[in-house]
Chains A and B, each alone.
Chain A
Amino acid sequence: MSQHLDELLEFHWMMDMLQTVDVGIVVLDRSFTVKVWNGFMESHSGLLPSEVRDKSLFSLFPSIKQDWFTKKAKPVFDLKTRAFMTWEQRPYLFKFPNYRPITGSESFMYQNLTLSPLTSATGKVDYISMMIYDMTDVAVGKKQLEALQVTMSEAQEAKRRFS
């Protein structure tokens, strides 16, 4: 009996961890209805798990193009490989506000995304998990560096022209 209780408690704190981890976790089924929506997603989107559960991702976020996302997810379901999207490709999938609304220079959160297959007990992939990482600081750093490089080469160009 106490073993069952332990398992239950363990399950509880595991769920708690999934809820509070600072990475967005979403589980989708084959028709892209939302099955899991963790605390990160809730806080950043302002949508409660009860509001998104069993609803289509595309109806919740019309800005996500269905064809495009379906194509992205196809190999994850069929080949059981992971799919990746980086902020360099497209800055974000979900338009979330910057984590630091006061001191942050960007208005939205740059995101890296990983889609990975969730294999069921039968070996089939019926669900995929989507993980969303906040890449804003990295993106801002890289953009600043690039801006600096442009300014420097322009300055050098100008100097050469005048001398």
Chain B
Amino acid sequence: MFSVLVCDDSLVARKQVAKCLPQDWDVAVHFAKDGDDALKALAEGKGDLLLLDLNMPVLDGYGTLEAIREKGLKTKVIVVSGDIQPEAHERVTSLGALDFIRKPVDPKTLAEVLDKYNILHNDEELQLEASPLDPDIRDCYQEITNIAMGQAGDHLARTMNVFVELPIPNVNLIEVSELHMMLSDIESHEQVTAVCQGFLGPGVSGEALCILSDSSFDDVAKILNVEGEVDDQLQLELLMDAASILIGTCLTGLANQMDINFSQGHPIVLGQHRAITEIIAMNQIKWKRTLAIELSYGLEGYNVQCDLILLFTEESMKMMNSKLAHLLEDF
């Protein structure tokens, strides 16, 4: 989502500026109370557009503009100030601001200025290329996955007596070609066996992909207490078991936090002992973009390389965002 950062030392002014943003403009609005604050927020990616006041404590508007220029930050700046001297106008535009709006702001003027610099219309294309996922939402997904993983790891550790090296979830809105890239480093290693499983909840649907490298099977057999020679048939069973546990625990954790329930389809074997791109290649026509949460598992003391990828449909994000709205509010 396109993000707007409103920087002003006065709470009333911040609210007033935010209220004047076009009603139908789907943006994430953030606030900063001085220049320092704003620079921090910008560094976190919270501000494709900065609405900047000039007279503030700590770091004023001029200083902020200078810092933005020095650091090469890509934000667009529109100055909103009560200081209407012509010199102020000149100074800020020479420091890189697009335009100058005098306080108090009214919706019409703001809309005109936004329109003039194509900020209202181009934002969608721009953000698709630059950052497809709002950092706040990414953070939020990452956090709930972390919590889900923590719970899952605890369960796994207790049932299987292993120490689970908790992976850091990698959350991205990706396209088909990117899924290939994401998987390419797994491919470079060796051959894999993959299982996918569909899951479905109210308004949320997706697929879990569990990929186990072929060299991991002996150790997985040890962990799951399976004896005997690990042949193809047994490998398949091991993968199914490991996948059910990993996918199940992770989905349960996510579902709990969103207060929904997932039903799971039967797992399908995508292929045994094959190159990963081959496995993915067959299915690439049907979708364009997907929210991917990638988890790479390791188990301490074992040679187990297992990747779990949760892919959510783009439509699912609507429901997920609304279910997670209470978390997002705190940002």
Report which A residues bind B (CB closer than 8 A): 71-72, 74-75, 78-86, 88-90, 112, 114, 133
Contact = CB atoms under 8 A, between A and B. Distances in A.
Contacts of B156: 79
Contact of A71 (B225, B247, B252, B269): B225
Given A74-B159, A86-B240, A80 B267 contact: no
19 contacts: A71-B225, A72-B241, A75-B159, A75-B244, A75-B248, A78-B155, A78-B158, A79-B156, A81-B244, A82-B244, A82-B264, A84-B197, A86-B240, A86-B267, A86-B268, A86-B269, A88-B269, A89-B236, A90-B237
Contacts of B224: 71
A82 B199 CA distance: 12
Contacts of A88: 236, 269
B interface majority secondary structure: helix
Contacts, number: 55
Interface in B49-107: none
A83 B248 CA distance: 8
B266 A114 contact: yes
B126 interface: no
Given A75-B245, A81-B248, A88-B236, 10 more contacts: A74-B159, A75-B159, A78-B158, A79-B252, A81-B245, A81-B252, A86-B268, A86-B269, A90-B233, A114-B266
Interface centre among A74, A82, A83, A112 (most CB of B within 10 A): A82
A89 B252 CA distance: 25
Nearest to B246: A81
Contacts of B269: 86, 88
B290 interface: no
A interface majority secondary structure: mixed
A79 B159 contact: yes
Contacts of B305: none
Nearest to A78: B159
B244 A89 contact: no
A85 B248 contact: no
A84 B266 contact: yes
Given A71-B224, A75-B248, A79-B249, A85 B240 contact: yes
B159 A83 contact: no
Interface centre among B226, B236, B244 (most CB of A within 10 A): B244
